[in-house]
Structure 1
Amino acid sequence: MTSTTMAVLGHSGRVTTVAISPDGVWLATGSQDQTVRIWDVATAATIAVLRHSGRVTTVAISRDGVWLATGSEDQTVRVWDVATAATIAVLRHSGRVTAVAISPDGTWLATGSDDATVRIWDVATSTTTHTLTGHTSRITALSIAPDGTWLATTSNDHTARMWDIAATTDAPFVDNPSGRSGAVTGVAVSSDGTWIATIGHDGSVRIWDPVTAAITAVPRHASPMHAVAISAGGSCLAIGNDDGTVRIWNPTAAITDTLTGCTSRITALAASPDGTWLAIGSNDSTLRIWDAGSATDRSLTHFGRITAVTISPDGTWLAAGSDDGTVRIWDRDATAVTATLTGHTSPITTVAISPDSKLIATGSADGTVRIRHATTTADIATLTGHTSRIATVAISPDSKLIATGSNYGTIRIWRLADGNRVTMMRTDAPLNSCAWLPDGTALAVGGDKGLYLYTFVDDSAVPGI
């Protein structure tokens, strides 16, 4: 076998990038001489010379070979017609352009810059449709999935990120840590979806509007907070504290009551659907049922520290997870355990019941989520893929999807019907809590660096639904 090497000459500076046309007939090269040259592969002849006002850093060719996009240190991306060498559009960053990628269908392109942002552009209108933020340093590479539904980016900040193009808004990071001195440890959504409550390790509570992002800060508590629940009618907000107390607030942030009796940190809270009682879990291995009408409580004993608690949508039973790796189920009025769920190999971290009360999901420090029938407790599926502790689980209002979040900062969306993952988002810090908005169009996620709101356009925005 023999091989032939052909040299093409013409650039007056170092060649920095090269791309080959889909049909292999021509190629494009970018150079420090501020030009892009298009070459005929068979003859090595220059077909066209395209000019920037700075060093060319990246070249990408559309799948049909009709146009190409070039990025430069002049902070622009230029879109060119290959046949005429005419400029179709000039797209501008606020820093040097370092990477360009074109979607498989050619309708949009992604550009990265040393301004640490990734921009998504509509090719037809030459306008920015999304600006992806989160990287803290120069973008080094971009890659679009073959089906065009997600984008991978890498950066000099030592991280790689995956972005769901169809399903997320351009700014999922809504509530930043400004004003907080610690992580967001809990999030809860009101039943009508008009407000969201977040609590912090620094004792702060915030109530904000998911549409306008307007935030109301309420007075801080003296100790860290780790559990939060909202009554079904939205008339009260229950917050569990490190000092063993539970504070009841109205939506305007006035304290209406303080519950005592637990001897250690409150770790889990759940409000009954009718708002008449609370389930309170703590580090002292007890689960307390507090009746709002009589202002009395009773205790149920677990065999380990209570780490999670949830109440069925019909209010007839509740489930609590423990660091002994089990989940115990009680009837609302009973004192005896009706079922014990086993199978996890590490402490339980989170428990969720589907809105139709048919399924129960449990997350664990073993990195798995188990889905079971609520009545028979038979296993349906075990969700694997997270590489660290499961921190939060939430089932969508229509009981079709489940969201799982981990200490590694990833949020995965799964189909409950078959246990298949349909999409994934990534943040840059560990996650602590998540909750769906009542209409299922958005997911609020609390983590060590703030609150994220992921908005899903419609069912078609989540692949496979």
Structure 2
Amino acid sequence: MHQDSSTSGLPSESLEVTPDRSMIAAAGYQHIRMYDLNSNNPNPVINYDGVSKNITSVGFHEDGRWMYTGGEDCMARIWDLRSRNLQCQRIFQVNAPINCVCLHPNQAELIVGDQSGVIHIWDLKTDQNEQLIPEPEVSINSVHIDPDASYMAAVNSSGNCYVWNLAGGMGDEVTQLIPKTKIPAHNATPFAASLALIPREYIKKALVLVTLDLIDATSLQPFGHLFGGPNV
């Protein structure tokens, strides 16, 4: 297992494996590090320390050509991965620290959630953006689009999950978001940290530290819970 060699001793906030499963990116306080998964080298093969604050989200284009990040410096960035010298290609500036970023399956729109409660849809083709505000001044903790691009969901620090139907978003079409529902995401606490939209048949077993609520994205009905512990 690779260990993050940050001199700060602070843990990485976000981890993501490249689509070809050859490398893993570890992003955290003022750093991005990438490790070769096919070697026993514990040192990063790419090391970037030029970000001023915490990086909270990292992910990759499906072909691995570029990487995206979001951070507490209020910026989402696109990074060119075609060389070993990590280069920032594009920057999207918002007005509050960024908690989460996800890439639309069309590979052309980034969804950015910030601490002021705004969800930004950044069109990478036109550099235009739109905004959604489910609850003003309630931090967006996590946002996700299902692999078929049928739904988008976001969960905030009040513990509410918002779901939208998606239309368009292919070719030159701009993605249209149609409000579907609002779901209390967690009964035990008002805080919900993360969510994912995944095919129901993939939910087999999990090792978790807290409760997971399972909600059917089509019927919007709960169908189970996963509780922390090795016997889930």
TM-score, length of structure 2 as denominator length: 0.66
1:54 aligns with 2:53: yes
Match of 1:7 in 2: 3
1:95 aligns with 2:96: yes
Give the CA deviation at 1:19. 0.6
Change (3 A) 1:424 1:133: closer
Q: Deviations over 1:77-113 (max 9, x none)?
A: 1110112321111011110000010112311110100
Change (3 A) 1:9 1:144: same
Give the CA deviation at 1:42. 2.2
Change (3 A) 1:17 1:427: closer
Q: Deviations over 1:261-304 (max 9, x none)?
A: xxxxxxxxxxxxxxxxxxxxxxxxxxxxxxxxxxxxxxxxxxxx
Match of 1:26 in 2: 23
Change (3 A) 1:156 1:115: same
Matches of 1:170 and 1:427, distance apart in 2: 20
Change (3 A) 1:109 1:170: closer
Give the CA deviation at 1:170. 9.4
Give the CA deviation at 1:166. 2.4
Give the CA deviation at 1:126. 2.9
Give the CA deviation at 1:424. 6.3
Change (3 A) 1:103 1:11: farther
Change (3 A) 1:35 1:126: farther
Matches of 2:27 and 2:2, distance apart in 1: 18
Give the CA deviation at 1:124. 2.5
Q: Which amino acid aligns with 1:18?
A: L
1:78 aligns with 2:77: yes
Contact 2:4 2:26 (8 Å CA) reproduced: no
Contact 1:37 1:48 (8 Å CA) reproduced: yes
Match of 1:142 in 2: 143
Give the CA deviation at 1:147. 1.5
1:425 aligns with 2:204: no
Change (3 A) 1:424 1:29: same
Which secondary structure state, in structure 1, belongs to the residue aligned with residue 13 of structure 2? strand
Q: CA RMSD in A?
A: 2.6
Map 1:405-444 onto structure 2 (within 5 A): 425-426=180-181
Q: Which amino acid aligns with 1:111?
A: V
Q: Deviations over 1:296-329 (max 9, x none)?
A: xxxxxxxxxxxxxxxxxxxxxxxxxxxxxxxxxx
Contact 1:131 1:170 (8 Å CA) reproduced: no
Change (3 A) 1:171 1:106: closer
Matches of 2:37 and 2:6, distance apart in 1: 14
Give the CA deviation at 1:150. 2.5
Q: Deviations over 1:200-251 (max 9, x none)?
A: xxxxxxxxxxxxxxxxxxxxxxxxxxxxxxxxxxxxxxxxxxxxxxxxxxxx
Matches of 1:427 and 1:96, distance apart in 2: 24
Matches of 2:90 and 2:135, distance apart in 1: 26
Map 1:320-399 onto structure 2 (within 5 A): none
Match of 1:35 in 2: 31
Which secondary structure state, in structure 2, belongs to the residue aligned with residue 135 of structure 1? coil
Matches of 2:142 and 2:99, distance apart in 1: 7
Which secondary structure state, in structure 1, belongs to the residue aligned with residue 82 of structure 2? coil
Matches of 2:57 and 2:175, distance apart in 1: 24
Structure with higher Rg: it is 1
**Structure 2 stretches lacking a partner, 5+ long:** 169-173, 184-232
Matches of 2:19 and 2:80, distance apart in 1: 15
**Length, aligned pairs only:** 172
Change (3 A) 1:133 1:8: closer
Matches of 2:166 and 2:45, distance apart in 1: 35
Give the CA deviation at 1:148. 1.8
Q: Deviations over 1:9-35 (max 9, x none)?
A: 245332111111111100111112x11
Change (3 A) 1:8 1:427: closer
Which secondary structure state, in structure 2, belongs to the residue aligned with residue 126 of structure 1? coil
Which secondary structure state, in structure 2, belongs to the residue aligned with residue 18 of structure 1? strand
Change (3 A) 1:9 1:94: same
Contact 2:103 2:111 (8 Å CA) reproduced: yes
Contact 1:133 1:171 (8 Å CA) reproduced: no
Match of 2:108 in 1: 107
Q: Higher RCO, 1 or 2 (CA under 8 Å, sep at least 6)? A: 2
Matches of 1:103 and 1:11, distance apart in 2: 34
Matches of 1:123 and 1:71, distance apart in 2: 15
Matches of 2:151 and 2:106, distance apart in 1: 13
Contact 1:142 1:152 (8 Å CA) reproduced: yes
